[in-house]
């Protein structure tokens, strides 16, 4: 499946992706929320162990299932849909955590293609914060960013780095780059 109207925002934790997604929603765009955060919230609520600090493999598997579900959920949309991370991020997470993906999982991933341009948010120390779901430190944010660059490039996507700027400027930058596709 190839969805040219599906736009991925990726990068390390705490780099401003979700804030930009929220602004895109306010501007009337369809947006898929970050599934990792949803998985963590659900697992904590259910007292499950599929958490990045408890069972990384189970956490990864639930994220992959949720990312595929998000992709399928928006297939009937003809307008732009923005994703706070994509299926390729699961490969990056697995590499960072040194957990193997099964052959089946690896074979499924290329079946879900997004727009060829992926917007990557570089680590930005001035806005980086932790919360109950984001427990990584800034060094992990940098490692995550580098891994996302690697996996998205290897997957054939063109990465466009988001500038350090206000939320409105970042959103305008994304929309201008999509318009010129």
pLDDT at 13 over 90: no
pLDDT at 93 over 70: yes
Give the fold, CATH level 3, of 6-179.
Answer: Rossmann fold (3.40.50)
pLDDT at 130 over 70: no
SS3 at position 142: helix
For every residue of 55-93, DSSP letters joined together read -HHHHHHHHHHHHHHHHHHTTT--S-EEEES-HHHHHHH
What pLDDT, in 10s, does the model give residues 132-161? Answer: 555 567 888 899 999 999 999 999 999 999
Determine contact, residues 85/126, Cβ cutoff 8 Å.
Answer: no
Residue 181 binned pLDDT confidence (cut-offs 50, 70, 90): low
User: What are the residue boundaries of the structural domains of the chain, listed by start?
Assistant: 6-179
Helix H or strand E segment including 96: helix 87-97
What pLDDT, in 10s, does the model give residues 37-62? Answer: 889 889 989 999 988 888 999 999 99
Helix H or strand E segment including 176: helix 167-179
Residue 33 binned pLDDT confidence (cut-offs 50, 70, 90): confident
């Amino acid at each position: 499946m190839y969805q040219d109207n599906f736009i991925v925002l990726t990068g390390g934790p705490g780099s401003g992706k979700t804030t930009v997604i929220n602004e895109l929603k306010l501007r009337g765009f369809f947006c898929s929320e970050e599934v990792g955060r949803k998985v963590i919230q659900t697992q904590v609520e259910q007292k499950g162990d599929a958490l990045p600090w408890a069972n990384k493999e189970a956490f990864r598997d639930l994220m992959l299932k949720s990312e595929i579900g998000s992709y399928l959920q928006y297939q009937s949309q003809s307008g732009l849909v923005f994703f706070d991370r994509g299926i390729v991020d699961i490969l990056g997470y697995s590499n960072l955590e040194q957990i193997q993906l099964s052959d089946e999982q690896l074979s499924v991933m290329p079946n879900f293609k997004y727009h060829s341009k992926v917007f990557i948010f570089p680590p930005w120390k001035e806005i980086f914060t932790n919360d109950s779901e984001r427990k990584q430190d800034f060094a992990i944010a940098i490692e995550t960013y580098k891994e996302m660059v690697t996996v998205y490039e290897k997957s054939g996507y063109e990465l466009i780095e988001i500038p350090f700027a206000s939320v409105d400027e970042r959103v305008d930058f994304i929309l201008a780059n999509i318009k010129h596709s």
